[in-house]
Amino acid sequence: MPAVAVCRQAQLEDVEPLYLMIENYARQGIMLPRSRAVLQRQIGDFVVAEVDGVVVGCGSLCRLGEELVEVRSLGIAEGFKGRGLGSMLVEQLVKEARRLSIPKIMALTYEVSFFLKNGFTVVEKEIFPEKVWTDCVNCSKQHCCDEIAVLKILD
Ligand SMILES: CC(C)(COP(=O)(O)OP(=O)(O)OC[C@H]1O[C@@H](n2cnc3c(N)ncnc32)[C@H](O)[C@@H]1OP(=O)(O)O)[C@@H](O)C(=O)NCCC(=O)NCCS
């Protein structure tokens, strides 16, 4: 039988798989870590991808201002990449931004081609006001950030 993939709002039961997945990417330096307590508090901002009932991906939206949200903690477990699940999560997060009437969605990433395929364009980090970088103060790379900023304007 073909695998059944769904994208849904995260729930408190998802905290542990989300924690482990994000921790795994954080160890590789491609995501910021999130504690279980933070995940519990922010679970309403997360969506998950499930394959045959198992959580294999996640992503979240963080509001940075009246007009801007950031995609954070977007990841698909090894072995499940390249099947359209990451795009499905981004689509869901874009839908959520639209529902909230927020016109701009951005991300800081190393996966530029993935975001280009999903309708984002590369922009200068400097176009975002410094005060929006709430997360960066906790990042070890804050003074030598090599991530690329990507942006999608929603109509
Ligand atoms: C980036 C990531 C979320 C993409 O998820 P995914 O499920 O593998 O992506 P999809 O299968 O939806 O890919 C969509 C398209 O992008 C392409 N793509 C996916 N990853 C890519 C990559 N690393 N480089 C170039 N293209 C990529 C796919 O080929 C596909 O193109 P197609 O539709 O023409 O075949 C996943 O690779 C990942 O978890 N990476 C590590 C964590 C990370 O860096 N997250 C981003 C933080 S902002």
Which CATH number belongs to the domain containing residue 149 in this structure?
A: 3.40.630.30
Q: pLDDT of 90-99, one tens digit each?
A: 999 999 999 9
CB-ligand 1 contact for 59 (6 Å cutoff): no
Expressed as residue numbers, the domain containing 35 is 5-153
- Position 2 scores a pLDDT of 76
Q: How far is the CA of 74 from the centre of ligand 1 (A)?
A: 10
H or E element that contains 124: none
pLDDT tier at 143 (50, 70, 90 boundaries)? Answer: low
The DSSP secondary structure of 30-41, one letter per residue, reads SS----HHHHHH
- Report how far residue 88's alpha carbon sits from residue 101's, in angstroms, rounded to the nearest whole number: 20
pLDDT tens digit string along 14-63? Answer: 999 999 999 999 999 889 999 999 999 999 999 999 999 999 999 999 99
Protein residue whose Cα sits closest to atom 17 of ligand 1: 114
Report the pLDDT averaged over residues 92-117: 96
pLDDT band (50, 70, 90) for residue 132: low
What is the SS3 assignment for 68? strand
Atom 27 of ligand 1 has which residue's CA nearest to it? Answer: 114
Q: Cα angle vertex 141, ends 59, 103, to 5°?
A: 40
24 lines ligand 1 (CB under 6 A): no
The one-character DSSP state at 12 is G
Q: What's the total number of domains in the chain?
A: 1
Closest CA to 73 of 106, 113, 40, 30: 30
Residue 75's beta-bridge partner residues? Answer: 58
What CA–CA distance (Å, rounded) separates 144 from 54? 36
What is the chain's alpha carbon radius of gyration, rounded to the nearest angstrom?
A: 15
In three-state secondary structure terms, 85 is helix
User: Rounded to whole angstroms, how far apart are CA atoms 107 and 31?
Assistant: 12
Of the two residues 77 and 138, the one the predictor is more confident about is 77
Ligand 1 centroid to Cα of residue 94, in Å, is 16
List the beta bridge partners of residue 49. 7, 57
Per-residue pLDDT at 3: 85
